[in-house]
Chain A
Amino acid sequence: MHHLVIDRWSRGTSPLHQCDPRAKLAALLVFLIALSTTLPPAQGAFAAYAILLLLAAKLAHLPIRGLAGRAALVLPFTATFALLTWWSGDSLRALALIEKSFLSGLAALLLVSTTPLTGWTAALESWHAPRMLILVIQFVYRYLFVIAEQAQRMRWAALCRGRGSFRLAAGLVGVLFARSWQRADGVYHSMLARGFRGRFVPSPLAPFHAIDALFLFACLAGCLAIRILL
């Protein structure tokens, strides 16, 4: 399962893994702002952003193909808009749309692949991000395991009784929703039974070291240089 792999990756020991989650989160925000404000004709800048991310992935000892494949999961969502833009005659903007969504996905993936969930949600909490948002992120992450496993079991059970079809898939999605609801209710009950009071206890963050500030500064400088010069 994708989330299990990412969870395993996030527990690595590379220099990027050891960097403070707040520095990585800030670097991601800087990167996303620079990327989103880059104009479509600056194709060299997109290539430079990609190189920057590849270097970061290399530094984190993460498999480039695995990362790229997972980041490409966002493409079907943006492809529709890119196609419409291309039909309207603006092929460069269509290309930029694809590039921006892929690179954004890759950057976000790099953050979660080098920082355990408890680390980056603690960083969000230290920035006073809305508690409800953090809670939703944490619940979605936990329920993903539960729902993915349920879906797998139902798929096997269905395949044992015949060939897959669109109708079968549609039926499975409906039943999966109902069962996931029940399962999520059970998980929530067990959390309450173990003293959950509507808030996950955040992991304590280590002090922000000079090396973390240096990393953030390097990311900021790199992004600004690409954004302004290319």
Chain B
Amino acid sequence: MPRHPHTAVSRAIHIQGLRYRYPDGTQALNGIDFHLDSGESVALFGANGSGKTTFVLHLNGLLRGEGSIEICGLPLADETLEQIRSKVGVVFQDSDEQLFMPTVLEDVAFGPLNLGLSPEDAQTRARTVLKRVGMTHALERAPYHLSAGEKKRVAIAGVLAMDPEILVLDEPTTFLDPPTRRDLLALLRSLPQAKVVVTHDANLARALATRAVFFDHGQIAGEGDVMEVIQRFHWEYS
């Protein structure tokens, strides 16, 4: 991967006073202050409907609320949207929403082509990241025929192919069996990017993140060390 100036930029994400209300009137975010340092991994906890997914959709401008958002020093605005989308790679909870091209290779090359790479360079980059996530055996397969774990790997490859500086993972282990979950975790730990991980899985958060943030009714109810947040908000099955 050619571009990761983590040392040059210390703050990957800086957000102040973020508010968002859905068109039906639901106040999903109510004054969020958040930061993420380069290379840092943060877990976002919170009950269903607490605003986690709405929050991450703001990180590359898919939703636009009130407040200020800075990504790698760039303020989120219409003029910077393209640049910001190349810096923040979002892996959605449902891989089926992310895989829409006829073959795996074409799907992974979709992002690089949009970045302006030539078809040959886009394919080369797609092949490189597919090798990295262990999916070279499925280059010409239709994404709809893959298993849940394979789909997740291809979805991650599609995002990595854009060479982002920040990875946003929304419930990355949903629908995965324990061995696949373990493999995915090893893969995610090997990636150098800063990470925002939305999850209900305390084990995943412990293994991947150094800090946790707890969302409650569109606000940050607490943050700190992962274990501390888990214990404070009783975020475990038993």
Is A117 positioned at the interface, with any CB of B under 8 Å from its CB?
Answer: yes
* Binary contact readout B155-185 vs A (1 if CB under 8 angstroms, 0 otherwise): 0001100100000000000000000000000
A140 part of interface (Cβ distance < 8 Å): no
With an 8 Å Cβ cutoff, the count of chain A residues facing the other chain is: 25
Cα distance A190–B102 when bound, in Å?
A: 16
Closest CB of chain A to B100's CB: distance in Å?
5
The reply to whether A191 and B100 contact each other, CB–CB distance below 8 Å, is yes
User: Which of B62, B96, B102, B144 sits near A193, CB closer than 8 Å?
Assistant: B62
Contact present for B97 and A195 (CB under 8 Å): no
B100 A186 Cβ-Cβ under 8 A: no
Q: Which among A7, A187, A204 is the interface contact of B97 at CB below 8 angstroms?
A: A187
Q: Is A146 an interface residue (CB 8 A)?
A: yes
Interface string of A61-73 (1 = CB under 8 A from B): 0000000000000
Within the complex, the shortest CB–CB distance from B134 to chain A, in Å, comes to 21
Contacts A193-B62, A195-B114, A196-B114 given; does A187 touch B100 at CB 8 Å:
yes
Q: How far is the CB of A135 from chain B (nearest CB, A)?
A: 14
Segment at the interface with A among B24-32, B34-42, B86-94, B218-226: B86-94
A116 at the interface (CB under 8 A from B): yes
Whether A195 and B142, one on each chain, are in contact in the complex, defined by CB atoms closer than 8 angstroms, is no
Whether a CB of chain B sits under 8 angstroms from the CB of A179 is no
A183 near B97 with CB under 8 A, answer yes
Question: Chain B, 96-127, contact with A by CB distance < 8 Å: what is the 0/1 string?
Answer: 11101110001000110111000100000000
Q: Tell me which residues across on chain B come within 8 A of A192, comparing CB atoms.
A: 62, 85
Q: Which residue of A lies closest to B110 (CB)?
A: A194
- Roughly how many angstroms separate A7 CA and B98 CA in the complex, as a whole number? 19
Residues of B within 8 A of A117 (CB): 102
Q: Does B54 touch A at the CB level, under 8 Å?
A: no
Minimal beta-carbon separation of B198 from chain A (angstroms): 14
CB of A11 to closest CB in B, whole Å: 8
Query: Which residues of A are found within 8 Å of B60, using beta-carbon distances?
Result: 193
Size of the chain B interface, CB-CB below 8 angstroms = 30
* A145 beta carbon closer than 8 Å to chain B: yes
Cross-chain contact A194 with B162 (CB below 8 angstroms): yes
Q: How far is the CA of A100 from the CA of B111 in the complex (A)?
A: 42
- B89, B97, B101, B144: residue with the most chain A Cβ atoms closer than 10 Å: B97
Interface of A is mostly: helix
The 8 A CB mask of B65-102 against A (1 = contact, 0 = none) is 00000000000000000100110111010101110111
Nearest-neighbour CB distance to chain A for B40, whole angstroms, equals: 21
Asked whether, in the complex, the Cβ of B98 is within 8 Å of the Cβ of A203, the reply is no
Known: A187-B97, A189-B97, A192-B85. A201 touches B92 (CB 8 A): no
A195 close to B102 (CB less than 8 A): no
Q: Is B204 an interface residue (CB 8 A)?
A: no
Contacts of B110 in A (CB 8 A): 191, 194, 196
What residues of B have a CB within 8 angstroms of the CB of A128 in the complex?
Answer: none
Known contacts A149-B144, A194-B162, A201-B113: A186-B62 contact under CB 8 Å: no
Cβ–Cβ < 8 Å partners of B158 in chain A: 194
* Distance in angstroms between the alpha carbons of A58 and B90 in the assembled complex: 46
Say yes or no: A4-B97 contact (C-beta < 8 A), given A189-B62, A193-B90, A196-B114: no
Interface pairs (27), CB distance under 8 Å? A11-B140, A117-B102, A142-B101, A146-B96, A146-B100, A149-B96, A183-B96, A186-B92, A186-B94, A186-B97, A187-B98, A189-B57, A190-B98, A190-B100, A191-B110, A193-B62, A193-B88, A193-B90, A194-B110, A194-B111, A195-B85, A195-B86, A195-B115, A195-B162, A196-B110, A203-B119, A204-B119
Residues on B lying within 8 angstroms of A by beta carbon are: 57, 60, 62, 82, 85-86, 88-90, 92, 94, 96-98, 100-102, 106, 110-111, 113-115, 119, 140, 142, 144, 158-159, 162
